[in-house]
């Protein structure tokens, strides 16, 4: 079938890229841990590692979900706003729905993601505009629904399990995040989805001609991104005992940074969710590590900005785009 022709081309392109770049996020991760251990010998203890992994969990989910969209060649800028809205929904629904609220929120987030994907595909609007508009709309809905205030969760027994520790050390949220990443990776691997996604990202017109259901793949990617944002929101609520209309908004930049630091090319096709997992850990370590080496946390934002620009420049597939807008 013609689909196999498109997929056969993909591995060649992957091989041509420097092998080293595949290990870059891991190397960066190890180097960072080593550097932080030198700076502060107390860093490499079970307690601080537990804290880091617990902090990283929602970021991992957000980054992993958006990675699928980036792999298709698009971008999802609405993840953080969607997560914020989801925290509000969850906090409002827990009293009535109890345990079902978690599922309901993830379902709604998936739907919102799919809706954005559909708008992107059907109306032929660039994904960053759809999701930029979506970000604005979702924030407005969150503000209106919550009355622009924090919604407290009085009885958090239904989401408390996410804030527990497996075997006393590993945070449950981190386990869940890794599990979700593994699940997405497995799903991509054992189904034709992997080749469909990368074909869409590498060469959309070719993929379309070869019979790949490009539109469905894109909508699916946005739906996965939405679902991950919903689950990240559940984690945030389980930790903060409340939902807020801007609670997750400051996770957008770190999530984008995590994706590009992981080495997923912003031009699409090249990358994986595992890379974003590593990227999210790198970003979290940087965030935690700045105060350890004595840099004020105000530099955090500057660091994110610099990371995004540099990492995109390094991972960009320059052969593919002759004109960069």
Q: Confirm or reject binding of residue 139 to another protein (CB under 8 A).
A: yes
Max CA pair span of the chain: 58
Nearer to another protein, 182 or 312 (CB): 312
Q: Does 318 bind another protein (CB under 8 A)?
A: yes
Rounded CA-CA distance 6/211 in Å is 10
Nearest CB to another protein, comparing residues 2 and 191: 2
**Choice from 8, 34, 186, 309 touching another protein (CB under 8 A):** 309
Nearest distance in Å: CB 323, another protein: 5
Which residue shows structure tokens 């958006």?
66
120 counts as binding another protein under rule CB under 8 A: yes
Q: Please report, to the nearest 10 degrees, the dihedral formed by the alpha carbons of residues 81, 87, 92, 98 taken in order.
A: 140
Give min distance, CB of 68 to another protein, in A.
14
Min CB(98)–another protein separation in Å: 29
Counting Cα atoms < 13 Å in the Cβ hemisphere of 20 gives: 3
- Residue with smaller CB distance to another protein, 90 or 130: 130
Q: How far is the CB of 161 from another protein (least distance, A)?
A: 33
- Verify binding: residue 71, another protein, rule CB under 8 A: no
Structure tokens at 70: 């980036």
- If the CB atoms of residues 159 and 251 are measured against another protein, the closer one turns out to be 251
Q: How far apart are CA 141 and CA 164, in angstroms?
A: 31
What is the CB neighbour count within 10 angstroms for residue 17? 15
The answer to whether 181 touches 278, Cβ cutoff 8 Å, is: no
Which 152-211 positions form the footprint of another protein (CB under 8 A)? Answer: 204-205, 208-209
Read off the tokens for 217.
């793949």
Alpha helices in the chain (DSSP H): 2-16, 20-39, 46-71, 79-97, 100-123, 127-146, 172-190, 193-202, 204-209, 214-240, 252-261, 273-292, 299-315
Those residues whose C-beta lies under 8 Å from the C-beta of residue 120, and which sit 6 or more positions away, are: 74, 126, 127, 130, 218, 222
Report if residue 129 touches another protein, rule: CB under 8 A.
yes
Q: How far is the CB of 316 from another protein (least distance, A)?
A: 6
Work out whether the CA dihedral 283, 288, 292, 298 comes out positive or negative. Answer: positive
* Footprint (CB under 8 A) of another protein, residues 238-257: 253, 256
66 versus 180: smaller Cβ distance to another protein: 66
Strands 170-171 and 242-243 turn out to be unpaired
Helix intervals (H) in 72-158: 79-97, 100-123, 127-146
Name which of 264, 291, 297, 296 is nearest 280 in CA terms: 264
Question: CA nearest 79: which of 270, 278, 224, 239?
Answer: 224
Subset of residues 278 to 307 that bind another protein, contact rule: CB under 8 A: 296, 298-307
User: Does residue 119 touch another protein according to CB under 8 A?
Assistant: yes
Which residues in 46-65 contact another protein (CB under 8 A)?
none
140 touching another protein, by CB under 8 A: yes
Q: Which stretch binds another protein (CB under 8 A): 32-40, 72-80, 98-106, 174-182?
A: 72-80
Nearer to another protein, 39 or 306 (CB): 306
The one among 47, 124, 167, 294 contacting another protein by CB under 8 A: 124
53 versus 86: smaller Cβ distance to another protein: 86
Which residues lie near another protein (CB under 8 A)? 73-75, 119-120, 123-130, 132-137, 139-141, 143-144, 148, 204-205, 208-209, 253, 256, 260, 266-268, 296, 298-310, 312-313, 316, 318, 321-325
């Amino acid at each position: 079938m013609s689909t196999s022709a498109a997929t056969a081309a993909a591995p060649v392109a992957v091989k041509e890229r420097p092998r080293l770049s595949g290990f870059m996020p891991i190397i960066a991760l190890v180097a960072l841990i080593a550097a932080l251990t030198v700076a502060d010998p107390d860093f490499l203890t079970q307690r601080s590692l537990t804290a880091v992994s617990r902090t990283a969990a929602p970021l991992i989910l957000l980054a992993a979900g958006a990675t699928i969209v980036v792999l298709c060649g698009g971008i999802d800028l609405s993840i953080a706003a969607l997560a914020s809205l989801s925290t509000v929904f969850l906090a409002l629904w827990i009293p009535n729905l109890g345990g079902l609220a978690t599922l309901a929120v993830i379902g709604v987030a998936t739907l919102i993601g799919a809706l954005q994907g559909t708008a992107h595909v059907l109306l032929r609007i660039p994904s960053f505009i759809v999701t930029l508009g979506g970000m604005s709309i979702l924030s407005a809905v969150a503000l209106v629904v919550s009355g622009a205030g924090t919604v407290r969760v009085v009885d958090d027994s239904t989401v408390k399990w996410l804030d527990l520790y497996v075997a006393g050390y590993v945070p449950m949220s981190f386990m869940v995040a890794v599990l979700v990443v593994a699940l997405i990776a497995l799903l991509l691997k054992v189904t034709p989805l992997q080749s469909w996604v990368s074909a869409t990202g590498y060469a959309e017109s070719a993929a379309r001609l070869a019979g790949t259901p490009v539109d469905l793949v894109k909508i699916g990617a946005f739906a996965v991104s939405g679902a991950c944002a919903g689950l990240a929101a559940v984690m945030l609520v389980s930790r903060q005992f409340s939902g807020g209309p801007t609670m997750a908004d400051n996770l957008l930049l770190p999530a984008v940074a995590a994706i590009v630091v992981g080495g997923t090319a912003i031009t699409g096709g090249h990358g994986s969710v595992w890379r974003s997992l590593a990227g999210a850990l790198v970003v979290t370590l940087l965030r935690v590590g700045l105060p350890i080496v004595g840099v004020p946390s105000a530099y955090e934002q500057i660091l994110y900005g610099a990371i995004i620009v540099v990492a995109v420049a390094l991972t960009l597939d320059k052969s593919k785009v002759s004109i960069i807008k």
